[in-house]
Structure 1
């Protein structure tokens, strides 16, 4: 957050003084394209970066050149009556983490559309050119159907904001507050509550220093007062690196798979034969189960290298997510830091004005409890004035309760990963599935279908397609929540070298479980299609139901738990009201 040049603040504007701010031209807005230009160089807190952002290139700038760069940045913004997104951040976080987070916020949807669109275009052209079996054993299948869509994904992820038509307006301190005009800067900083109140949404780029900054807390308090928790979006800075690491790990896995198929054409058959012999010695004549487990073990061997990046990325996600929730649970605005001591008084006074009488808490509680149930009577709550004597404590309770619950509803707890996010993380595997189906397992389609016992190429390709869809939908996403739970359990015993080794093995074990489940599910379905029997169909259905139940528990369980918690909290709040009213009546009778 930008600060006055010197002397501290004497008075912050009230959020309802917008007309005065608008007439003076203090409220300005920028665009995502301008914000993310030069890879979001405006977030690098150095003079050299400031000059580059303003279009000035020199190692030894004069004061005139610094002012010129500042004017260039400021004039790139425009006067406005309101903005779509107020971006709150701490200068303690790095530039690149903010750049990736904002790319994810603004460009992720476009990146997915570009990747899928390019894949669909290539498939249409290739199939229209030579038919369904044209890619059987072709070297073009993998680069055209995997590398090209993933390349489009990364290009759009990083640069889509530069070519998008309509984009939301944003407010960022470095771009919308003049940096070298002390008087204008002081007026704009003093009008910060007005800017927040006139923003449709507030996007918090969270890092571990955000709640430690007093200016950041003022922004949050203003947004809470004039928009509520539903207006606040929290985007942790660890989320984009974790997602990109997962995508790159999956890309490495499918690349390794494909390279082995091309360099050693019969490597899969050779490995599978050796593994099948050893597994068969243990399982006996259960040929179907032997093939399924042997295929899964072969995939496990390929998955082992990606356990290394997975360990570091999942550990970062687990710890950072837990830190966010812990900071909110123990939040105290009095402990926040302020660079200029003179600013603390006006800022805390502004928070007191916003949260006086506890009206924000009461409004949020009314929204949470909603209408009374049948047979209940709504009672007037008599609030103890001593409870809200300190408005700063009211703000603390708001962050610890209402806002924290809202954040959990948005991004879940440290063990939560949305199913949709898991699909994005395995995007290379999704595209590679088309290589496996249309490429006919790196061989002529007629030959591959005969070797696997299918009566026709059509039956072979349809079966392969269904197997991939089932594995991608119900098996592969399970790796992410299972890995997080295993890591949390491991680190609950400490953070020493032994725990780190065990956590690394847990990442490998989670991948092994995923490979075995996918292999068994695919083998069962393939056997049902080739050699149908009621027992085999029943085994496939049981396996599918088990995986679906795991998905429901891991991806939908937190929604059910949150619903139960809301009901429980509602009952507890009503009980507190009854007790408060009863206590008040008893005290009245005693007097």
Structure 2
């Protein structure tokens, strides 16, 4: 959709005809982000179930009021699970504490293989959506700055170069490099307002992610809760039958180290089957989860890109709207020989920034907050953690400045 809107605008106004056009930001940022949220929340309804997969959800598919029917369906639960092609775990802090959930997991791991398990923490979507909204706010502030001070970055070039020349001499490439770095670092102020809510969002992610990994690392099926002792005995007997001899298959092509799994099987052959299941959760399944969503201090590349989706969309606004001024004037003020050179340089610089600079913000912020909160829970530690947020964003924009400075110095 975003691409179609960009093509439509270029077709209507021309490549160099959108400079200063106030419609570019709503069309290329606000509308795509709004569409993302609509599809995220209502996509299953919009498709009319034409492309929806069939799901079996235990809480919804097992009768909750007819006790006799409920008992029969619970008894058949392993059959339902065994016929599934994939298993989606919607994890919360009580998931591994529920024995019936462990039965489902053990049954599916035995029949479907660990590689077909997808674990989605319930905190992931709120954290990601919050990050997108905060990034949208920052993109809006960036656009507001462009409207209040049209071509502000270009007008700052001469005074910055003059000040830099007194320190570094008259090397044109170095002067342009430093100027771009300074301008990009200043652009990072658009994230100052979102740094405080970002702290709470990332701290929540840090705590819940660590809890998930800790639970899996210390997993013991015997510690899971079950209301009836008779059910516990039956469930444990079923798990014993599944894992007796360490025979929980992991099929080829999984994201797990198959050699490691085979070594675990060999070492577990003569051990308690319940311990065998425990080791599969603490070993291959934990490794698979970390490959899917990372550890508490890492954010997978694709998730990091989604978190900064509004600013990615905004890059097209910055290019097509020519820093919110007529493209010819913006090109001249920026020191380019033509509008084409000006816009191509921006496209290349934005592309490198999107893939090399933006994705590092989340991991750096997580590490900085983790370092601060690990020192204690006092006011000083809280202040340090809050300070980490603007510093992380400034670091990201400093990296962006290095990229832009290098490209501009090379081109001009």
Please report the TM-score for the alignment, with normalisation by the length of structure 1: 0.63
State whether structure 2 residue 141 is matched by structure 1 residue 256. yes
After superposition, where does 1:434-583 map in structure 2 within 5 Å?
Answer: 434-530=316-412
State which of 291, 295, 320 in structure 2 corresponds to 1:409.
291
Q: Distance in 2 between matches of 1:496 and 1:239?
A: 27
State which of 5, 9, 12 in structure 2 corresponds to 1:129.
12
After superposition, where does 1:14-93 map in structure 2 within 5 Å?
Answer: none
- Structure 1 residues 505, 370: CA separation in 2 closer, same or farther (over 3 Å shift)? closer
Q: Distance in 1 between matches of 2:269 and 2:7?
A: 69
After superposition, where does 1:18-417 map in structure 2 within 5 Å?
Answer: 117=1, 119-164=2-47, 165-265=50-150, 268=153, 272=156, 276=160, 280=164, 283-285=167-169, 287-360=175-248, 368-369=258-259, 385=270, 388=271, 390-417=272-299
What is the CA-CA distance between 1:275 and the residue it aligns to?
8.8
Q: Distance in 2 between matches of 1:299 and 1:367?
A: 44
3-state SS of the aligned residue for 1:338?
Answer: coil
8 Å CA contact 2:261–2:284 kept in 1: the answer is no
Q: Distance in 2 between matches of 1:342 and 1:520?
A: 65
Q: Distance in 2 between matches of 1:266 and 1:525?
A: 19
Larger radius of gyration: 1
8 Å CA contact 1:361–1:398 kept in 2: the answer is no
What is the CA-CA distance between 1:199 and the residue it aligns to?
0.8
3-state SS of the aligned residue for 2:87?
Answer: strand
Coordinate RMSD, CA, aligned: 2.9
What is the CA-CA distance between 1:280 and the residue it aligns to?
4.1
CA deviations 1:45-97 (Å, max 9, x no partner) are xxxxxxxxxxxxxxxxxxxxxxxxxxxxxxxxxxxxxxxxxxxxxxxxxxxxx
**What is the match of residue 310 of structure 2?**
428
3-state SS of the aligned residue for 1:441?
Answer: coil
3-state SS of the aligned residue for 2:245?
Answer: helix
What is the CA-CA distance between 1:244 and the residue it aligns to?
0.9
Please report the TM-score for the alignment, with normalisation by the length of structure 2: 0.89
3-state SS of the aligned residue for 1:204?
Answer: strand
CA deviations 1:138-176 (Å, max 9, x no partner) are 111111111111111111111111122221100112331
What is the CA-CA distance between 1:351 and the residue it aligns to?
1.8
- Structure 1 residues 353, 517: CA separation in 2 closer, same or farther (over 3 Å shift)? same
- Where relative contact order (Cα < 8 A, 6+ residues apart) is larger, the structure is 2
8 Å CA contact 1:279–1:294 kept in 2: the answer is no
- Structure 1 residues 262, 240: CA separation in 2 closer, same or farther (over 3 Å shift)? same
What is the CA-CA distance between 1:197 and the residue it aligns to?
0.7
Q: Distance in 2 between matches of 1:223 and 1:486?
A: 38
Q: Distance in 1 between matches of 2:91 and 2:250?
A: 27
Q: Distance in 1 between matches of 2:338 and 2:309?
A: 30
Gaps (5+ residues) in structure 1? Answer: 1-116, 373-377, 531-591
What is the CA-CA distance between 1:188 and the residue it aligns to?
0.4
**What is the match of residue 33 of structure 1?**
none
- Structure 1 residues 403, 297: CA separation in 2 closer, same or farther (over 3 Å shift)? closer
CA deviations 1:533-588 (Å, max 9, x no partner) are xxxxxxxxxxxxxxxxxxxxxxxxxxxxxxxxxxxxxxxxxxxxxxxxxxxxxxxx
Q: Distance in 2 between matches of 1:279 and 1:195?
A: 72
CA deviations 1:365-393 (Å, max 9, x no partner) are x9822999xxxxx9x969774xx2x3222
8 Å CA contact 2:177–2:409 kept in 1: the answer is no
3-state SS of the aligned residue for 1:428?
Answer: helix
Q: How many residues align?
A: 402
3-state SS of the aligned residue for 1:358?
Answer: coil
- Structure 1 residues 444, 204: CA separation in 2 closer, same or farther (over 3 Å shift)? same
